[in-house]
Amino acid sequence: MHASYTKNLDLVIRKIERARLAYDPHHIVSLLAVSKYATIEQIQILHECGQRAFGENKVQDLKQKSQALESLPLEWHMIGTLQENKINALIDLAPTLLHSLDSLKLALALQKRLESKGKNMRTLLQLNTSFESTKSGVSPTQAPELYREILAQCPNIKLEGIMTIGAHSTDYKVVEKSFSLAKEVFDSLQGLGARTLSMGMSEDFEIAIACGANLVRIGSRLFA
């Protein structure tokens, strides 16, 4: 399994590098391994192959896996929808980054708990740039105002960019448009400290990088 995972990781890194160089030789792209379907052993093996950052969709899975692997120097991200009743548990786990802040209501609830615990949390605002009803996130037109509201009302939330999920389509142009919209919003927010543009998964990360992504979330291509 080590040889297989090393091969998978090397191939993904090569593809990221090729897309990155085509976009801008000075552009830096980080790789987040999505481990929601991976076992603790599989995460450990990918770590031995050189991967350090992992993302989970559920707070309970993040807790179980991060605690089982606490002896390793791993960076944990929360990338799934955050339910309000899981906020306290997430704060206690102290993830490196929350990718899925998707409303002012959630931001205010998160701020209240962070303030009471004397903690901060780095977060991204999730956009729905594909306008698909199955996806969470705020609309691109509402995002700049909401971003400013969260910055103003939630001092313990350290907003540092945006996240989106690409359009569910086999049409390159449709997927590209969903990423380009996110990039436009991201560019408009850089004066407010936005520096992370999290977009692109196993099937579309090269399109995402071509549109300016600097953090990609890849699961099945690494753990296959």
Mean pLDDT of 74-79: 98
Return the amino acid letter for 198. S
In the predicted model, what is the mean pLDDT of residues 36-60?
Answer: 97
Contact 184, 212 (CB under 8 A): no
What average pLDDT does range 61-77 have in this prediction?
A: 98
Strand partners, 196: 161
Q: Which long-range contacts (CB under 8 A, 24 or more apart) does 67-73 make?
A: 68/40, 69/40, 69/43, 69/44, 72/44, 72/47
1 band by pLDDT with thresholds 50, 70 and 90 = confident
Average pLDDT over all residues of the chain: 97
Over residues 22-31, the pLDDT tens digits come to 999 999 999 9
Determine what percent of the chain is predicted with pLDDT higher than 70.
100
E strands present in the chain: 30-34, 53-56, 75-78, 97-101, 121-127, 157-164, 196-198, 215-218
* pLDDT average, residue stretch 93-107: 98
Q: What is the pLDDT of residues 115-135, one digit of tens each?
A: 999 999 999 999 999 999 989
Rg (CA), the chain: 17
CATH number of 2-223: 3.20.20.10
Whether pTM > 0.95 for this model: the answer is yes
Q: Report percent pLDDT > 90 for the chain.
A: 98
pLDDT at residue 224 in the model: 86
Question: Which residues face 77 on adjacent strands?
Answer: 55, 97
Per residue in 150-204, pLDDT (tens digit) is 999 999 999 999 999 999 999 999 999 999 999 999 999 999 999 999 999 999 9
Q: At what angle do helices 143-153 and 104-117 cross, to 10 degrees?
A: 20
Q: What is the pLDDT of residue 153?
A: 98
Domain ranges for the chain, please list them: 2-223
The band of 21, judged by pLDDT with boundaries at 50, 70 and 90, is very high
